[in-house]
Structure 1
Amino acid sequence: HLDDPQVRQAVVESIDYMTTAYKEGYVPPGALSWSDADDNNAFHAKQLIMDLDGTISTEVALFHDKDKYDDIVTLGLPADNHGNAIPAMLGVGGGFVPKGAKNVAVAKDFMKYLIQPQVVNDYLKGGLGRWLPAMPELAKTDPFWLAGHDPHREAYTREGVLGPTVPVYSCYNPGYAEVEAAQLWGVAHADVIRQGMAPQAAADKALKRMGEILAKYPVGGS
């Protein structure tokens, strides 16, 4: 739908909204150069009052500092303009055995062991719930996730396991993983903020490049 005028307009408005927030000082100046963990670091340094994240890594980094840990709040996504719940986007992780691996049988045995419900649940609990179980029954039956022992973990679990969810875009088309790796939206924002490009031009540039990438990954019915 890259040639749909409504899609283009939505992209333009999104780029304009994000870059205007940056220009008006609502986003830390260094954000354009952040690495993966720098939103967490900025929140801890009180450069931000709110951080949208796909895990509770920001929170569990403070787990051993009880005062700071208890002083922050974790909330799910707000309702949309019509009062409906916004689905949380869920990333997908998986394991694979590389072609030509020397110990294929051992690797398969390990994967069979790891994906056992109790084993994967214990593994996730060892990470303080930074990642959610893919099996809803684990969250429903183990008090660790929902019994109110930890407000951050409970809010996260209710949103990502019990609430409405949708897969990340790369689940629909693997080409979108390349789009994300190319950081097309970050580049579009930088084009406006650093290069003075109009949001319309930045949107057209990003959509053109996205079309080139997705053309390499034909998906039936898309």
Structure 2
Amino acid sequence: LGAVALVAIGAAAYVAMNPPVVTQTTTVSTTVPTTSIVTTTVPTTSVVTTTVPTTTVITTTPTVTPAGTITMYVEKGWYAEEEEAKKWLATMFRRETGISIELTSLSQEDVLKKTAAGAMAGNPPDIVFCTTLSWMQDYAWKGWLEDLSEFVDDLKKLEVPDWAINAWKWADGVKKKQILAGVPYATDNIPFHYWKDLLETAGMPSSPQEIPTKFDDFSNFWREAQDKLWQKDPSMKDKVYGIGWPSMGGIGVNPGDGFQQMVHIMFWHGWKLEFDNKGLINLDASGNRDALKKVVKWFVDTYNSGYMPKGIMEWGSPDNNKAFNSKSVMSVHNGTMSIPLYWYGQDKTVYFDKTATLPRFPSLTGDRGIQTWEVHSWMVFSAGKNKELAKKFIKWFLQPDIINAFLKTTGGRFYPISRVVLESDTFWKDGKTDTGKKDPHLPTVYEMYENGPNMPNPQHWFSHPWSYLDAYPMQAPHLVIEKGYSVDEAVNEVMGKWLQAVKPYQDEIRSW
């Protein structure tokens, strides 16, 4: 079945009509179910019409001689459609090439554990996708990853921007050279959501266009909203807070969303990205310490003044979602579009009428504030027994129609990094249109991507291991609030630690 038929019927729908035959390993089962599970909470993003009968699909499926098997580890999706789409990829790839895929779908944490264990034992998977792998530069440093530079021309044809390709150019400490460690195909930004109905209850403006764009005014807007909400409804006092960002937990484990949220505020206060001729970042660029000091002071003042929940100091990646969905906070900065997409499945009134997403970020001056983008890729392991077959999968996958159909099954959680894919489907610009209402969430991603200013996510600042888990900027507010440091002392200490952590790698790369 070719790409045209794919677009006509959609990935999840195809699986519903043609259950995959490939073996899948999960934590509870070793075989793919014989029937597809397609929920009604997050509808499939493709439409099946009576003009594409099942018999047509069956009769146009080619027969290909078996040509080997690749081992693939993938991060488990949030929605049933995502899992079905992965099975569909495996089925379609086998039918078109004869190459089977042994598919293992696991949680983020388990993908990392299983991948690292296999690599250390000399028996890694052939190919992997996991969002958290975007900060695993030590895999490349140890020589575990295959150089995928052969796909740069394919990416250029898809109009993948240079900054997205460069984000995956990592240092191989064994070969002592830079490699393309992954083949990027998707991205996500860090959207800002808020409860419109809580603002309306407080008597505050609720349209995205009415919210201030200068950072000080922006911050004070949410303070005022909390004050007025508590005055209007005293039962909400100490239960609903104006500011639910940035999360400050997970240091040493998985700082996730919080680190990315804090980096945005650093950018909005003047943090700069400066690189040398080896592509190595200068963390201590002029003005960066001052920017971080301003952010730490703002956070400490806001927290101590009672405009953030006390628990925010320990929030990990899931906790801001929980706080927002329970209406414990009026506003939140999140790692993906998972919050509104949750409500799209649970209650479309909340999605379309009671919540909104900002189409631009604030800054000190009121100009469009910087937003960062995380780039997601396929990675191939050098010791993979069938790595050449894995490369054939990537070559096959890099077809606009296949990428588009696959990403649409995420409902908008991931976004095409390819301009060709992006412009091929109005979904990426218009979002959810099934109710006849204007989508207040997904189109903001398109607007922000188009209008910028865009910067790579902190995971992509480094071509070498860089102590992501230590989340050094996030440590500074903890030092001030919990240990009595001054803001200057806290910032100077964490910056010193961060610089020392990356110095050995940068010195080694400079010697190549």
**What's 1:121 paired with?**
404
In 1, Cα distance between equivalents of 2:379 and 2:287: 39
Match of 2:301 among 20, 23, 38: 20
Q: How does 1:44-193 map to 2 (within 5 A)?
A: 44-64=325-345, 65-70=347-352, 71-147=354-430, 149=433, 150-161=439-450, 163-175=452-464, 178-193=466-481
Stretches (4+) displaced over 4 A: 1-5
Equivalent pairs counted in the alignment come to 219
Paired residues of 2:473 and 2:495 also in contact (CA < 8 A): no
Paired residues of 1:32 and 1:186 also in contact (CA < 8 A): no
Segments of 5+ residues of structure 1 without an aligned counterpart are none
Give the CA deviation at 1:203: 0.4
SS at structure 2 position matched to 1:216: helix
In 2, Cα distance between equivalents of 1:38 and 1:161: 30
* Worse-matched range after superposition: 137-146 or 199-208: 137-146
Distance 1:102 1:180, change over 3 A: same
Q: How does 1:34-53 map to 2 (within 5 A)?
A: 34-53=315-334
Distance 1:35 1:83, change over 3 A: closer
In 2, Cα distance between equivalents of 1:139 and 1:152: 17
Distance 1:192 1:73, change over 3 A: same
Q: Could you list the per-position Cα deviations for residues 151-196 of structure 1 after superposition, in whole angstroms to 9, with x for gaps in the alignment?
A: 3111122113553312124434235x63432121222221112222
Distance 1:158 1:137, change over 3 A: farther
Q: Could you list the per-position Cα deviations for residues 41-62 of structure 1 after superposition, in whole angstroms to 9, with x for gaps in the alignment?
A: 1111112111123421111111
**What's 2:493 paired with?**
205
In 1, Cα distance between equivalents of 2:284 and 2:428: 44
Paired residues of 1:145 and 1:157 also in contact (CA < 8 A): yes
Paired amino acid for 1:206: V
Distance 1:31 1:155, change over 3 A: same
Distance 1:165 1:6, change over 3 A: closer
Paired residues of 1:91 and 1:167 also in contact (CA < 8 A): yes
Distance 1:78 1:170, change over 3 A: closer
Give the CA deviation at 1:130: 0.7
SS at structure 2 position matched to 1:39: helix
Q: What TM-score, normalized by structure 1, do the two folds share?
A: 0.87
SS at structure 1 position matched to 2:356: coil
* Worse-matched range after superposition: 142-151 or 18-27: 142-151
SS at structure 1 position matched to 2:372: strand
* Worse-matched range after superposition: 185-194 or 207-216: 185-194
In 1, Cα distance between equivalents of 2:448 and 2:333: 13
Give the CA deviation at 1:12: 1.6
Distance 1:131 1:211, change over 3 A: same
Paired amino acid for 1:184: Y
Q: Greater CA radius of gyration, 1 or 2?
A: 2
Q: Could you list the per-position Cα deviations for residues 19-50 of structure 1 after superposition, in whole angstroms to 9, with x for gaps in the alignment?
A: 22122222221112222121111111112111
* Worse-matched range after superposition: 132-141 or 117-126: 132-141
Distance 1:123 1:87, change over 3 A: same
**What's 2:484 paired with?**
196
In 2, Cα distance between equivalents of 1:24 and 1:15: 14
**What's 2:313 paired with?**
32
Distance 1:5 1:100, change over 3 A: closer
SS at structure 1 position matched to 2:455: strand
Higher relative contact order (CA 8 A, sep 6+): 1
Paired residues of 1:124 and 1:133 also in contact (CA < 8 A): yes
Q: Could you list the per-position Cα deviations for residues 100-144 of structure 1 after superposition, in whole angstroms to 9, with x for gaps in the alignment?
A: 112213321222233322212112110101111101232333111
In 2, Cα distance between equivalents of 1:135 and 1:19: 40
SS at structure 1 position matched to 2:308: coil
What is the alpha-carbon root mean square deviation over aligned residues? 2.3
In 2, Cα distance between equivalents of 1:8 and 1:202: 11
Structure number with the higher helix fraction is 1
Give the CA deviation at 1:200: 1.2
Structure number with the higher strand fraction is 2
